[in-house]
Amino acid sequence: MQVIASVASMQRLSARWRRQGVRIGFVPTMGFLHEGHLSLMRRARQRAGRHSKLVVSIFVNPTQFGPGEDFERYPRDMKRDLALCREAGVDAAFVPGAEEMYPGRARGGFSTYVVEESVSHGMEGAARRGHFRGVTTVVAKLFNIVQPDLAVFGAKDWQQAAVIRRMVQNLNFPVKVLVGRTCREPDGLAMSSRNTYLKGDLRRQALALSRCLKSAAEWVQSSAKPLSAGKLKTRVARMLAREPNVRLDYVEFFDSETLIPLSKVVRGSHMALAARVGQTRLIDNARL
């Protein structure tokens, strides 16, 4: 496996592979890898085909973190991440630094950003102002650097995947975007690098998020008629309030493709929620 830190070196390698007719599969990550990331790598390898190369980027992107968020303490373990990439058969790990990705940003010299104006406004976009501007900008840069034929994102960040798909469509990126399933711990907690923050009883209390998704699905599937989204939100809020250290940020019911909020919820609707468990902010979602 090649470990590449410079933009120019990654671009040269990708260009050489493409001249050779090799397809490139790509999984962008912020590191601290877990089984969820590894499942995306397997999906990328499978869908790229037999004669392909797999690239994984590891970069904690500063532009998608807002003031007071956990950029500085976001979990990092590059040595472990690279070992997992090697075990997964990754061909190249792209591991740039912040100055390499955003030249001159610390001195005000970086000024070009990509902004998606449709599906990025609600939920995470409303709760974390500027977050998706950072996401779309870094993903656009990574696509231009790695030049992948396909890229795989996780379903746990459902809105993020929708934002990326819209950007790719609107800006004519020659990249196929795939979404891999959410991987969960045996007790139902969605896998996340931030789960490492959950200490003591907070780990148990975090299960309230997945319980809410399961309960909402049962309510919807057992009803012969559409349910009020407002009443479902109230029920979810009450469920979360039973845990002393869980504070609801938002819960939303929406169309899976357009992300348009729904006033009436039926089978096949999508649900997403975000909550703080102690000081740790977690998100989860599911199709009902």
Check if 37 is active-site: yes
SS3 of 157, please? helix
What three-state secondary structure class fits 59? coil
**Beta strands per DSSP E along 139-256:** 150-154, 176-180, 227-228, 246-254
Cβ atoms of 168 and 119 closer than 8 Å:
no
Of these residues, 37, 121, 131, 270, which one is catalytic?
37
CA distance 271 to 212: 10
What count of residues does the chain have? 288
Q: Map residue 198 onto helix, strand or coil.
A: coil
Residues 6 or more apart whose Cβ sits within 8 Å of residue 111: none
Indicate which residues carry an active-site annotation. 37
